[in-house]
Structure 1
Amino acid sequence: MLEKNIEGEDVDKSALSVILDDFEKHGYDVQYRVLTAADYGVPQMRRRVIIMGIRKDLGSVDNEFYPQQIFDETGELTGRPWRTSKDGIDDLWDKVNNPNIPNHTLKDISRAKFYPGKKMQGNNRIAENRPAPTIRAEHHGNIEAHYRTTVEDATDMSGWRRLSVRECARLQSFPDSFNFVTSASSAYKAVGNAVPPVMAWHIARSVFFTLKQLEQIEFEKK
């Protein structure tokens, strides 16, 4: 099956292949890995392709470092189980409109209604004891519901509420000190489009080690 480009035309290469080939043509040794945010302490199952390349006159992919996994699903591999939605946001449930918590007022919670009996995006509650699903950028009816409910019957959607901007930010690993000074819809979009800061820190740290490795190689050559 052929891939399609942005104009809808059939092409015989994926977007990823085009990106890798273009970097190769411009003198870079390039590789990629799919990293999962939950593996780095983020309470969210967010998978992203991370591409890293080195200019060929400076080194090769053999000199690159990707961040080492430090959490896993059960903790058997790393000694640290994935952080769950409850770990990330449980303390915020009854603090809506607390002036000390930014982006967590009634105005910061999508009011899009739920649809009983329908299986559709945003019509679900996140799981309490697992990392949250990927936080999406488009809000309206696409932000999932909190795992808690205000009524006894957990299937009764009248007791559900959608995640606030702050709860989405927490699940993305933003600190509470990071205040989104914009409308809720714009804030939801900014949060959903972001690379989780904690995951980004681990990637940046790996890039730093890669650069130090290249410096050492250059030093030894001299």
Structure 2
Amino acid sequence: MKYTAIDLFCGAGGLSAGLEMAGFTVLAGNDLFDAAGDTFSATHPHAKFIGGPIQELTVERLMEATGLKKGELTVLVGGPPCQAYSVYNHQRSMFDARATLFREYLRIVDGMRPEWIVMENVTGIYSIGGGEAVRAIKSELAALGYDVEEQVLKAEEYGVPQERRRVVFIGNRVGAPISHPEPTHGPGATPYVTIRDAIGDLPSLQNGEDRGDVLYASAPSSDFQRLLRGNAVSVANHAAPKLGKVNIDRLEHIPPGGSWRDIPFELLPAGMQRAKRSDHTKRYGRMTWDGLACTVLTKCDIHWGAYIHPEQDRAISVREAARLQSFPDSFEFAGSKTEQYVQVGNAVPPLLGKAIGDHLVSLVEKSRQRAAA
């Protein structure tokens, strides 16, 4: 176990999956969400899932579960629940109890004393309290002896077929220089992974159809599909949510790249009949094969974003959302369909996690070589 990790607020394990791709051994994960814990346990067989609120998680319990002593862990990672920081939450405040959960992360940092730490959150964390949350995180980690730098990373620049922005904090207590991974995709680099690259091999579905495990519709046609399929011959969680007739009637009018503006006025919801044409640009959006997905949220609700399939008159399935998040097809999400969407939308995209993990390995190696010299 050259590089070890513990994942707090781990959810289904997207960040853990990325770290494992980079060569880390994830020893434990903690989350309050039981269905996510079932997914994490099934997809991270070498890790111990510890369920329950982080307030009840003790350092002693983590040490017992991992066999580690204080100071032996390579990296502690975690993304405290982001709803309090999100721009979608209009009641954001440092007084929101969720906004102080990072202090529980800090408590575990103090007890475990990992060499490195990684925290991720939504970009809305910059504006809450005029930047108070970011300043608090950095100052409190500094008080524990950790130098920390943060940067906004764009998931699409690391091979994820989705426009997604996340603030990633990286820090260490060993005095090593801190940097963030360089982009690998975009203009002048490897082309972005498109929606066709991501989901073009999945079988078609009718609105509301669920056929259980299904065979792929075709051989893989992109490196992304080959990577995520691995050795699988069938795929789970590919079930379309059931939309009512009024929504199906609306979808018929929306072309690829279109939105609510393409729906006849008399078919629009009452609230949107009063909306400005310049507002709500993603609502009732239909994806385009050659584009990127909008940010995958915990509900792929067509009323809130561009979650309509490029060709089929339906909302995207859990599996399609998972592909757009770069989850391997070996991940079978537990729980109800609603809980599955939540797990997918809350996750760090595994390929973004891999980019962070690969870069972290290089930083760790350089710091260890410097210490040994």
Query: TM exceeds 0.5?
Result: yes
- Indicate the percent of aligned positions where both proteins have the same amino acid: 31
Distance 1:146 1:32 in 2: 35
Report what 2:95 is aligned to.
Answer: 6
- Work out whether 1:111 is the aligned partner of 2:252: no
In the TM superposition, residue 180 of structure 1 has moved relative to its aligned partner by 1.0
Cα offset, 1:134, TM superposition: 0.6
The answer to whether residue 297 in structure 2 is matched with residue 136 in structure 1 is yes
Structure 2 residue identity aligned to 1:218: A
Paired residues for 1:1-222 under 5 Å: 4-7=93-96, 11=129, 13-55=131-173, 58-60=174-176, 63-72=177-186, 74=187, 77-78=188-189, 80-94=190-204, 97=211, 98=214, 100-106=234-240, 109-111=241-243, 114=247, 116=263, 117=268, 118=272, 120=280, 122-140=283-301, 141-142=303-304, 144-149=307-312, 160-220=313-373
Separation in 2 of the partners of 1:82 and 1:47?
Answer: 15
Over 3 Å counting, the alpha-carbon distance change for 1:217 and 1:81 in structure 2 is same
Spell out, residue by residue over 1:127-150, the C-alpha distance to the aligned partner (whole angstroms, 9 max, x if none): 32121111001345546111213x
Q: CA deviation at 1:13?
A: 4.0
**One-letter code aligned to 1:38:** E
Q: SS of the counterpart of 1:67? A: coil
Question: How far apart are the structure 2 equivalents of 1:29 and 1:219?
Answer: 21
Structure 2: which 5+ residue stretches go unaligned? 1-91, 98-127, 216-233, 251-262, 273-278
SS of the residue 2:367 aligns to: helix
Q: What SS does the aligned partner of 1:208 have?
A: helix
For 1:27-57, what per-residue CA distance to the aligned partner results, in whole angstroms no more than 9, with x for missing partners?
Answer: 11110111111111111111110100111xx
Q: What do residues 48-81 of structure 1 show as CA deviations (whole Å, max 9, x unaligned)?
A: 10100111xx214xx2342221111x4xx21x11
Letter in 2 for 1:137: T
C-alpha distance 12-175 of structure 1, shift in aligned 2 (>3 A): closer
Label 1:127 to 1:203 Cα distance change in 2 as closer, same or farther (>3 A): same
Q: Secondary structure at the match of 1:91?
A: coil
Deviations 1:58-115 (A, max 9, x none): 214xx2342221111x4xx21x111111110122252663263201134xx2536636
Taking the aligned partners of 1:54 and 1:213, their CA distance within structure 2 comes to 13
Aligned pair count?
197
* Deviations 1:141-163 (CA, angstroms, capped at 9, x unpaired): 546111213xxxxxxxxxx2100
Per the alignment, residue 54 of structure 2 pairs with none
Alignment partner, residue 153 of structure 1: none
Residues 29/198 of structure 1: CA separation in 2 closer, same or farther (3 Å cut): same
Conserved 8 A contact 1:71-1:82: yes
| 3-state SS in 2 of match to 1:92 | coil
Q: Structure 2 CA distance, aligned partners of 1:93 and 1:48?
A: 31
Which deviates more from structure 2 when the two are superposed, residues 21-30 or residues 140-149? 140-149
CA distance in 2, matches of 1:110, 1:192: 19
Can you list the C-alpha shifts for 1:152-205, whole angstroms capped at 9, x where unaligned?
Answer: xxxxxxxx2100000000000011121112211000000000000111011011
Moved more, 116-125 or 202-211: 116-125
- The alpha carbon displacement at 1:214 in A equals 1.0
Separation in 2, partners of 1:195, 1:64: 21
Checking the alignment, whether the CA contact within 8 Å between 1:110 and 1:139 is kept in structure 2 is no
Is the 2:150–2:168 Cα contact (8 Å) retained in structure 1?
A: yes
TM-score, normalised by the number of residues in structure 1: 0.78
